[in-house]
Amino acid sequence: MTVEKTTKKKTSSKKTKTTGTPPSFVAEEEKDDAKTPTKEQHFLPEEEEQQQQMMPSSVVKKLPQITVARLLNETQLGVAMHKRIVRQMTELRHVSGNEKFLQDVCTCLLHVLLEYKRDLHTERVIRFIIAFTSHREPGHEEEADEFCESLIRFLLNVTAAKDRAVRFRACQMVAGILNALGPDAEISDDLYDQMEETMLERLRDNTPAVRAQAARALSRLQDGGEDADFSNSEITTAFIELIGGEKNKDARKAILGALAISDHTISVVVERTRDISEEVRRIAFLALAAKVPVESVSIEHRALVLRRGLNDRSISVRSACVDMLKKWMSSSVCENDPIKLLKLLDAESHPNVSEMALKTLIETKTVKAMAYATKEKSETSGLRRFFLKKSEEEEEEEKVSVVELFSPEEALFWRVIVEALANQTSSSGKDTSLAVGQARAVLQAETEEVEDALDQCLPESSMDLLRAISMHADGKTTSSVFAARQLMMTLNCSDMNDGALRRGAATLVYERLRSIGDLNDENDVSCYARGGDGEWEKQLIDLAKRVHDDNEHVAVVLGACDSLRGTVTDEENNNKNDDDVNDDTNVYAETQALFIASSLFETANNSSSSKLPAHATEAVMQSLVRPAVAHASAGVRREGIKLLGLLLMCGTNALTEETVQILRTAADVDPSEPVKCMALRALGDAAMLYGPKALDARRDMPVPKKGIHVRFDDDDDDDEREEDEKEKENNDDADADADGEENETAGYQLTLEKQLLRIIESACEPFENPKDKTDLEELDAENIDAMNEAAFTESENSAQTIACETLAKLALRRGYYAFEQPSLVISTLLGAIFACNAQETPRLAQCLAVFFPAIASAPDAKVRACLIDAVLPSLRMASQKKGVAKVAAFLTSLLELETGISSSSNHKEGGDEASNSDTDKNKNLDGVIERSDAGEAELVRSLSIEILALNAKPFGTGVAGAQVKAYHAAISRVLSRVPIPDVKSMLTSQPNDGSAVNGSIVSEETKQRVTLQLSEAFVAMKMATKKCPKEKIALKDINIAKDRIHDSLGVSSSSSSNSNNINNDNEEGEDEVETLFNEDLQFAEYAEGVEKYASELSQSEDLPFYDRKGPKVSKLKEKVMAAPARERSKRAAAQVASEKWVEDDLNVPLAKVTPQPTRSSRRREALQEFNE
């Protein structure tokens, strides 16, 4: 192969990007070993071997032994000799010349390029080629650069080959050569452009290995631009676009390792930390550790990466995250100071992540708790620095200066150190108690050492710790309150049996729960009502539980709430005639009281023994709830509704007409959206506990309007038949009036189910595809918690989301009998998941995405029956919108999920039939199991009749015809994939011989019902196939469903009978006719009923597109069809005459004719043979 000699442009040259060679974890080379290649794996030409064997030995020694092929064969023996072979190849290139040497190398490489399998010997040759090409011998630099560019051009030319092995090996060598070049290497501009263009094309190759090597080749060609953020680089943009949609994990690893890290791309690397492949996640953490300084990462990204990495289920990913954390710890910013690391994580905003990171460093011995638990460090920067014994002069100086409080990071650090020492003390004590002999003495000494360190870390007195908590709580800032909360958690490591500590803690709880801060200070956030997060109050309630007895802490907390309400009442009485009443005090106090009471019930034990007594429940209603729900402030009403919902959970006799009406009214007419959401959440929790019917029985019933006549369908008196017939004529008007009346009825007067459905339908149109209003360019990559903030806002302000969550919980918990119209509920939820926008309503999208697989795979039959009955209504609702095929595909995937119905419920039914005890339970179980067994068969029957009714009229043309065809195809698709119960394996009793049951045990009624429904479905599908011959896709699905019903009923299909009789054409025809005749006889009794159902459905409003018209026929064609041509008339007259002749002939009686025996020679011969 002849290759033109290329010259390097010295005037216009371009350096490769100095992003450096990708780290070793990105490289894909295999490890080397000492295996010797076989003779077939050497690339030595056979002719040369034969010539050398025929020559004398003296002549062979004089021949030049150094050739390219021989040297490449030697490289397969091991990596240790590669350095020597590089020198020999360099000398050979210098002697032969670049052009001749390049031809020899390319000729040998053609054998290597055809090897797609990554065996050891091929990888050694490629590794040597990379090392030799990137090697620059001193004094021969220009020669080496010229050969390097020429070889790269040759490899780029073969990257477009059809063979994937050639493309893969060429991209692999190009990537290896580029990454092996030094940081000061130069290449010509035209070669740079050719490499970029070629590798970008290979980046979209259909082979994953080629895409991975192309990504490695492009890693050093990325251009940072003027801002050095790689935002304008075409290669970086291609990496970002492809890594999100790449399905192969190796290709994602290569792209992630090759991606240049900058402010523009760091969000992409962080996003890969939750990749589905643990190898890709590990590479992401290693890339962050190796390429990204900790100061270049935002606080949100730091916290997010640590939270994902330290909680990862893979050990290798967690190990990579720990390595990244250690590197952050040893960086120049932290300087091995854990408090500085906590400041980088913003411990106040991310306390859980900061605590997790600090505990990980303690477990890995990076931070040693014993080193910080000394008296000197505790007095200088620890818990003892606030209460040091000082002289009088130092005390006077301290009076002038302000005591410096703990920062959030310091408070968190010392709390974790104390807990670590306490845990170490307890574990050492357990080990000491189990040890014996010398080991016991050693462990006891270690335990005493840890205990001494814990004593030096804590203040000398527990009261000093309480005073430190009070000092920080009086700071009235978020940082000081956070520090006080961290210090309060250290009380868990103290001995609460100390009477002084218990009394001091009780006093602290009593004072702090009754405080709402300084109202004159706008920056005071010491309590929840003033802008706090509420964790301080919850910590106080937890401390009250530890200090007081089981029920005493409830009285203490509720007493604090009454005290706050008492301050409001006193101020109102004192300022009754004053115009300048402080409304803020009222709002703050009531909000604080309600929040404290709610926090108490949130952490309460919901057992029957610990429920709030009836008189206490009424006292809470009287003092807190009733004034709050009527308050002018929306925040107070929200907290009041929240307390009322918790009271229904924890109070005795709390479910009354008053409580239900308060919640229903707030959910319907309250002007504040957060109040509505809280009321709906409380109603959902109450419905889960008591049932929807219990809430509906206590609602405010609507008053019927005057003049409305209510007609009962059960009146069958003969005297009123005439009036009933007159009323039937006006049924449509009455139904329309009833719908209008229901729409006018207030939501709180409807049932809970209808109220929730009305809220969902008012927020979105079911199955309406959402328009993507969010521009990707407007998204803030730095705000990594944007989705969490959107979900929190949605949970507080979206009544639609709460209504969907409530219905989903009720469907999973109570199943089919929780609703009056379960099919409508599930159809509405299914329409909501297709109508919601995941960016605007992420909570709703996640809720419904989890709900539908859960209800489809539920082991309880009554739960799965909700989904089965909602399939056809959902398809009908989606038929008027675009995307009915997507709805059908989603329903099909749900119906194909495996369930545990047959294994559990069938045995229950069999046991109920065997024993007649416990009749009520047996009835319930039978109902559930029959619903399970007949649900799928009933769905198959409904879908089959729906298809038959659709084919009653032509589909039409245009947009309407396309919608009908799409709906027809969607139903056929679902019908072909619905699980059909196997009637053959259904048994009505246990085998007498005690053998194992292969099928399911059901009642006789269930088996008959399933058989009837499947038979009617088969007849409907058979009729439909004759009416839709042009719809090939739908016809194929219908035939698949028909064959499955054949197998279920135990009837051999026509296709199977034909396949068994292929010996004779006449026999095949006779068998097919006989099989079809038997089928017609077997299912003839169902045909009339099915046709009647389909005819009625085709004229009913339940069927979509029922009012479509047939194709238009011109008047001329109608006239021609009305008056047939002469030939038609003659043919018709002849047919009529023949039929009349047959009729007349049949009516004439037959003449009596005596048959005469026929005697022929053949007959006589046969008789003679028979007699003989």
* Paired tokens of 639: 């907290």
Q: Is the pLDDT of residue 1085 over 50?
A: yes
Contact between residue 804 and residue 753 where contact means Cβ atoms under 8 Å apart: no
Q: Is the pLDDT of residue 1038 over 50?
A: yes
Report how far residue 1036's alpha carbon sits from residue 706's, in angstroms, rounded to the nearest whole number: 57
Model pLDDT, residue 533: 84
Model pLDDT, residue 36: 37
* Paired tokens of 619: 């006292």
The mean pLDDT value for 676-692 works out to: 92
Q: What is the pLDDT of residues 946-962, one digit of tens each?
A: 888 888 877 777 777 88
Ranges of beta strands (E only) in 131-241 are: 186-188
Report how far residue 125's alpha carbon sits from residue 77's, in angstroms, rounded to the nearest whole number: 10
Other Cβ atoms closer than 10 A to 540: 23
How far is the first Cα of the chain from the last one, in angstroms, to the nearest whole number? 95
Q: What is the pLDDT of residues 277-289, one digit of tens each?
A: 999 999 999 999 9
Greater pLDDT, 226 or 634:
634
Greater pLDDT, 305 or 576:
305
Q: What is the pLDDT of residues 129-185, one digit of tens each?
A: 998 888 888 877 888 888 888 999 999 999 989 999 999 999 999 999 998 888 877
pTM for this entry? 0.74
Report how far residue 156's alpha carbon sits from residue 154's, in angstroms, rounded to the nearest whole number: 5
DSSP-H helix ranges across 330-461: 338-345, 351-363, 369-372, 375-380, 392-400, 408-434, 437-457
Q: Is the pLDDT of residue 667 over 70?
A: yes
pLDDT confidence bin for 382, thresholds 50/70/90: confident
Q: Is the pLDDT of residue 1166 over 50?
A: no
Q: What is the pLDDT of residues 530-566, one digit of tens each?
A: 888 888 899 999 999 888 877 788 889 999 898 887 7
Model pLDDT, residue 340: 92
Other Cβ atoms closer than 10 A to 768: 16
Q: What is the pLDDT of residues 1086-1102, one digit of tens each?
A: 788 888 888 888 888 88
pLDDT confidence bin for 715, thresholds 50/70/90: very low
Q: What is the pLDDT of residues 347-374, one digit of tens each?
A: 999 999 999 999 999 999 999 888 888 7
Other Cβ atoms closer than 10 A to 404: 9
The mean pLDDT value for 106-126 works out to: 89
Q: What is the DSSP string of 592-653?
A: HHHHHHHHHHHTS--SGGGSBPHHHHHHHIIIIIHHHHT-S-HHHHHHHHHHHHHHHHHBTT
Report how far residue 986's alpha carbon sits from residue 1014's, in angstroms, rounded to the nearest whole number: 14
Model pLDDT, residue 786: 53
The mean pLDDT value of the chain amounts to 76
Model pLDDT, residue 809: 92
Q: What is the pLDDT of residues 1044-1061, one digit of tens each?
A: 888 888 764 444 334 344
The mean pLDDT value for 61-81 works out to: 76
Model pLDDT, residue 1077: 45
Question: What sign for the dihedral angle of Cα 289, 292, 296, 302?
Answer: negative
Greater pLDDT, 549 or 466:
466
Model pLDDT, residue 1091: 83
Greater pLDDT, 1037 or 66:
1037
Q: What percent of the chain has pLDDT over 90?
A: 24
Q: What is the DSSP string of 1105-1143?
A: TTT-------HHHHHHHHS--HHHHHHHHHHHHHHHHHH
pLDDT confidence bin for 263, thresholds 50/70/90: confident
Q: Which phi and psi angles does 15 have, rounded to 5°?
A: -80, 150
The per-type count for the chain, helices as H runs and strands as E runs, is: 55, 4
Strands 186-188, 986-987: pairing is: unpaired
Model pLDDT, residue 968: 86
Stated length of the chain? 1172
* Paired tokens of 290: 């190796």
Other Cβ atoms closer than 10 A to 629: 23
Q: Which residues of 495-506 are buried (b: 16+ CB within 10 A; e: fewer)?
A: eeeeeebbebbb
Q: What is the pLDDT of residues 719-754, one digit of tens each?
A: 444 555 555 445 545 454 545 555 567 777 889 999
**Pick from 217, 253, 211, 218: nearest CA to 233:** 218
The mean pLDDT value for 887-906 works out to: 71
Q: What is the pLDDT of residues 796-818, one digit of tens each?
A: 788 899 999 999 999 998 888 88
pLDDT confidence bin for 921, thresholds 50/70/90: very low
In angstroms, the Cα distances linking 946 to 196, 359, 438 are 58, 63, 85
Q: Is the pLDDT of residue 325 over 50?
A: yes
Model pLDDT, residue 155: 92
Q: Is the pLDDT of residue 1115 over 70?
A: no
Contact between residue 934 and residue 1009 where contact means Cβ atoms under 8 Å apart: yes
> Amino acid letter at 1066?
N
Greater pLDDT, 804 or 1106:
804
Q: Where are the domains of the chain?
A: 24-204, 495-571+583-654, 857-991+1001-1091, 1115-1143
* Paired tokens of 921: 């339970």
Q: What is the pLDDT of residues 204-249, one digit of tens each?
A: 999 999 999 999 999 988 888 877 788 888 999 999 999 988 899 9
Q: Is the pLDDT of residue 1159 over 80?
A: no
The mean pLDDT value for 591-605 works out to: 88
Model pLDDT, residue 372: 84
Q: Is the pLDDT of residue 994 over 60?
A: no
Report how far residue 243's alpha carbon sits from residue 254's, in angstroms, rounded to the nearest whole number: 10
Model pLDDT, residue 1039: 87
Other Cβ atoms closer than 10 A to 392: 7
Q: Is the pLDDT of residue 35 over 50?
A: no
Place of tokens 């839709």: 1028
Q: Which of 322-331, 458-467, 625-634 has the lowest mean pLDDT?
A: 458-467
Model pLDDT, residue 778: 39
Q: What is the pLDDT of residues 656-665, one digit of tens each?
A: 999 999 999 9
Q: What is the pLDDT of residues 821-869, one digit of tens each?
A: 999 999 999 999 888 888 788 888 889 999 999 999 888 888 888 899 9
Strands 1000-1001, 986-987: pairing is: parallel
Greater pLDDT, 918 or 313:
313
pLDDT confidence bin for 304, thresholds 50/70/90: very high
Q: What is the pLDDT of residues 392-420, one digit of tens each?
A: 454 555 443 456 788 999 999 999 999 99
